[in-house]
Amino acid sequence: MQPLVSIVIPAYNGADNLLRAIPMLDAQTYAPCEIVVVDDGSTDRTPQVLSELARTRPHLRFVRQDNAGAGAARNRGAACARGEFLAFFDCDDIWPETAVALRMQPFLAGDDPEIMGVYCPADIVDEHGGLIHETPFFDYSQPFDRTYFTAVMGSLFNPSCVIVRKAAFDLVGGFRQEMSPAEDFDLWQRMLRTGGCFVKVSGCRVGWVQHPSSTVHSRLAFHYGQCVAVQDQLYTGLLPGPCLPEYAGTMGHVLARRDRTNRALGTAIMAAVSGDADTADRLAGQIALPFVRLMTVDWLMWTVRFCTLRALCRTVSEWPHGVWPEAAPRLLPWLRRLDARLGGCRNVQGLVARLEALSGGEDAVCG
């Protein structure tokens, strides 16, 4: 008998998504699975939809709580879960039918206590499944496909990519809901500080759906602030658990400043493209010239394309001719202001020149 996997789903006004997602989860080839949905204070038809879905599905359970955010809802679902393993799933995302079976293989292959969780890469897609970016995210190249603490310092995985041991999740106290919407970034890093690893399952790929109403899109500045708070704690050793001493000294602060610049740049581009010039200008104050000088123009072009497509939830097939004319009047003035703020930066100037030449066709864009 294989171990039970509890699929934990936070749902806020997710009636339509649940009607699509639950049959998709029913089709999983792995058994046994249970589905635990936490209705996070929905005001739409979510309670009625869950009642209807559960009527013919003994493996589906749901609870309702006052609205407290996705982190709190996932914690509630984990507390209700009966399984030894927790698979997190956001109800607007996409799983193939083998998503659980493939990711459970490292756990089933042997009793390796070092493995606290597994993950798979994700395709970033729009609401219709169209690719927003050609290459998958979270497809890290690490020795033996094992990710340890400090191997990757960013936001490691989307929750829908991950299955964890419930014991490892409980050991660190689950999601810190006060860190929302960066509570998943915070959780993976705190788990890794206990000394174990996450194993990549390359043969699996999930769909990470982007839409304009998501928390990341609608609260860009707040999301940036929460992510920076997590990064700063990682580098200064304020979180519980083992901390490499090299990250607690001066170089740790330098690395934190570098990561803050990288994150601020991407978030500011999304804000500018979305028409929020005030947020983009505020974030520009977090971008430090020494670290921008380390960014090649090709890398900056990649960042602009990805952040623009993600901000507008448009597919890569629409770049540049269908998307860039819409984004250019908003982004180019901000980039010129950024260059002035930095006192003149040849990297930014090179980026602006490349963007101004985009009308020449796709060959003007870094692939």
* Topology, domain 5-210: Spore Coat Polysaccharide Biosynthesis Protein SpsA; Chain A (3.90.550)
Determine if the peptide bond prior to 290 is cis (ω within 30°).
no
Pairing of strands 5-11, 85-88: parallel
Gap between the Cα atoms of 212 and 124, Å rounded? 14
Q: Given this model, what pLDDT does residue 361 score?
A: 45
Backbone phi, psi, residue 186, to 5°:
-60, -45
What SS3 class is residue 349? helix
Which residue type, as a one-letter code, is found at position 162? V
Evaluate whether 279 touches 330 at the Cβ level (below 8 Å).
no
**What's the mean pLDDT in 176-192?**
88
Mean pLDDT of the chain: 90
**Cα-Cα end-to-end distance for the chain:** 48
Report the range out of 146-150, 186-190, 198-202, 255-259 with the highest average pLDDT: 198-202
**Which of 25-34, 128-137, 332-341 has the weakest average pLDDT?**
128-137
For residue range 72-115, list pLDDT tens digits in order: 999 999 999 999 999 999 999 999 999 999 999 999 998 899 99
Pairing of strands 122-125, 206-209: parallel
Q: Given this model, what pLDDT does residue 239 score?
A: 54
pLDDT exceeds cutoff 50 at 364: no
Task: Please give the model's pTM, rounded to 2 decimal places.
Answer: 0.86
Q: Spell out the domain ranges in the chain.
A: 5-210, 249-364
**What's the mean pLDDT in 216-238?**
75
**What's the mean pLDDT in 276-300?**
95
